[in-house]
Amino acid sequence: MTTDALDDHLAGQERTELPETCSDAAAQRGLAGLRDWLTARALFVVAVCAVIIISLLGIPTHLAQDGWLALIAGRLVASHGVPTHDYFAWMTYGQRWVDQQWLAQWVMFELVRLGGLQLMTVFYVLVTGVAFGGAVAAGRSLGGEDLDVLKITLPGVFFYLVTAVSIRTQGFAYPLFVATLWLLASDWRSRERGQRVYLVLPILVLWGNLHGSATMGAGLGGLYGLLLLARGLRDRGLAALRDARAWAFVLISPLTLLATPYGMGMVHYYRVTLLNPQFSRLVTEWKPITTVPILAVPLFVMIAGAILAVLVTVVRARSSAAAAPPLYDVLVLLILAAGAVIAVRNVTWFGLALVILLPHVVTQMRAGRAAPLRRSRRNFLAAGATLVLCGLVTLVVLMRPSGWFTSTYPRRAITTLSTLIAQDPHAKILADVRYADWLIWERPALFSGRVAYDTSFELLSKRQLEAIGDLAANTRNARTTVASYPIWMLYPGNRAVNRKLLRRPGARLISKSRKVIIATYHMS
């Protein structure tokens, strides 16, 4: 081979080896970047993975009546489209039904059809985990230093998991809440008004077809618009009334609630759900936080701490050139804190808002003193191990048999009920709300229109709500209701009510277990 040929050959080798060398270097840089990213956020990764793991392990307990209602309604939507009348329970049979949550129900059912309860429940848990991770990211993005975000994340996890673990349509609203509040709070801080905040409006439309908490999202948008107008009037006078952005959120935010197949029918739905005093008698989550001391004490401590942090920051801002907490953040925290006190179900939203908004206030309170998180190899290893554990737990749950997901429900009771119905084909069942929609999910042909009522409480009349609020009462209303149902399916946890019912003349115990009590009743 000549010298020139040899040189060409070697140059060719260099040219062919160069891409591989560059590729290896790029891969190494990518791995290094991933390692740096994970090290910087290690403790946050651990917190989010912990939320997911806890939720995954408790799936059988967390798949309860609201989840079963979502599945039977989703099956109806998939088969016949958006429903207009209810045919699940006897008390509400044929009632006009505004199924506001139709889209979330359909998604849940389609996930079951695609991959069983395994896929649906794991997907749900991952959605709630992503929502909490988004809240952490928002807290850092909005100005909270890492250590302050981590401090608030700990109580935030506690409040978030109070109701977020329950598998139901509400979980699909958590990421939308985080996105809405993040966009609005970020835009409120910005001196240069961007267009990204308008993403809130389509988010609210989607939210309005997933869960009733969309009213809260509309409230967040409306509050933002009103505060923009107020600030504009202060700074520019009446010229601020021409602020199109402010009016867009003031006017369009509430209108997004009507952007559903039901249109103006949503007004009635929200009125009978949000303003119904009977709900707090029937459902623990609708009761004031003071009825659950284990939640009330830490909630009031957290609210007091947040108010103190805001006051300290405001006082410091007035005595120096420091910035005061954003007014939008303060009002949102106060409103959601009040909501959490009024009803247990609102604690989760307050927990998310804490993680998103409070770290910035705490950072301001410290007057700029740095509070960095330690970036150690130990934290990196902890984050990596937690990620691996989270992945393994997810795979294990996906491979679980279907029976594991319904293990808290009495499958043998279906056989017992079938026998009793065979003896009296027209018999109706007074089933505890825990069982009603599960029965319809398992045997729709047998139990649809036969159980007394389910969790669609907004369809029940005041008289019906009062009757089921205390079935064991000696009122004419309660006695008439009980007498209408010769088969009883009682939850063992309601000991006081069960004792009174089973002592009535004509009541006969059929079977009793840790999961269910079945009895018959024939009034003499």
pLDDT digits (tens, 9 = 90+) for 43-95: 888 889 999 999 999 999 999 999 999 999 999 999 999 999 999 999 999 99
pLDDT given for residue 376 in this prediction: 67
Residue with tokens 């939720």: 55
Structure tokens at 54: 């806890």
pLDDT at 23 over 80: no
pLDDT (mean) for 262-276: 90
In the prediction, which pLDDT does 201 show?
A: 96
The pLDDT confidence band at residue 10, using thresholds 50, 70 and 90, is: very low
Count of alpha carbons within 13 angstroms of residue 329, beta-carbon side: 30
pLDDT in tens, 370-402: 556 666 677 778 888 999 999 999 999 999 999
- Tell me 86's DSSP state: -
Q: What is the pLDDT of residue 61?
A: 94
Of the ranges 40-49, 113-122, 352-361, 501-510, which one carries the lowest mean pLDDT score? 40-49
The yes-or-no verdict on residue 11 having pLDDT over 70 is no
Residue 145: pLDDT band (50, 70, 90) is: confident
Q: What is the pLDDT of residue 190?
A: 83
Q: CB–CB of 473/281 below 8 Å?
A: no
Task: Judge whether 314 and 324 are in contact, CB under 8 Å.
Answer: yes
* Mean residue pLDDT across the chain: 88
Of 130-139, 141-150, 158-167, 469-478, which range is least confident? 469-478
Query: What DSSP state is assigned to residue 326?
Result: P
Asked if pLDDT for residue 18 goes beyond 50, the answer is no
Q: Taking the alpha carbons of 308, 160, 326, 342 in that order, is the dihedral positive or negative?
A: negative
Q: Report residue 6's pLDDT band, with 50, 70 and 90 as the boundaries.
A: very low
Is residue 430 scored above 50 in pLDDT?
yes
Among 12-26, 72-86, 184-198, 333-347, the minimum mean pLDDT is found in 12-26
d(CA 68, CA 65): 5
Share of the chain above pLDDT 90, in %: 65
Least confident of 4-13, 160-169, 389-398: 4-13
Distance, in Å, from the CA atom of 47 to the CA atom of 52, rounded to the nearest integer, reads: 9
187 to 190, 192, 207, 245, 253: CA distances (angstroms): 5, 8, 20, 11, 16
pLDDT band at 473 (very low <50, low <70, confident <90, very high): confident
Mean pLDDT of 273-280: 81
pLDDT at 510: 94
Give residue 345's region: left, alpha or beta (phi > 0; psi -120 to 50): alpha
Contact predicate 121/167, CB 8 Å: yes
- Percent of the chain predicted with pLDDT > 70: 90
* pLDDT for position 379: 76
Question: How high is the pLDDT of residue 322?
Answer: 66
User: Is a pLDDT exceeding 90 seen at residue 467?
Assistant: no
| Integer angstrom CA distances of residue 244 from 178, 233, 499 | 25, 14, 63
Higher-pLDDT residue of 272 and 122 is 122
Residue 472 pLDDT grade (very low, low, confident, very high; cuts 50, 70, 90): confident
pLDDT of 214-246, one tens digit each?
999 999 999 999 999 998 888 888 877 888 889
pLDDT the model gives residue 114 = 96
What is the arithmetic mean of pLDDT over 241-267?
93
Q: Could you count the other beta carbons within 10 Å of the beta carbon of residue 407?
A: 15
Under the banding of pLDDT at 50, 70 and 90, the label for residue 466 is confident
C-alpha to C-alpha distance for 443 and 446, rounded to whole angstroms = 5
At 196 the pLDDT is 92
In degrees, rounded to 5, the angle at the alpha carbon of residue 443 between the alpha carbons of residues 441 and 446 is 130
> At residue 24, does pLDDT exceed 90?
no
Out of 225-239, 345-359, 496-510, least confident range = 225-239
d(CA 452, CA 472): 15
Q: In this predicted structure, what is the pLDDT of residue 20?
A: 52
Amino acid 15: pLDDT: 47
**Average pLDDT for 442-456:** 94
> pLDDT-based confidence at 189, cuts 50/70/90?
confident
Helix H segments across 320-428?
327-342, 347-365, 377-398, 402-405, 411-423
Exposed, middle or buried by CB within 10 Å (0-12, 13-18, 19+), for 294?
exposed
Report pLDDT for 218: 96
Look at residue 99 and tell me whether its pLDDT is greater than 80.
Answer: yes
Sign of the Cα torsion 336, 337, 342, 343 reads positive
Which pTM was predicted?
Answer: 0.90
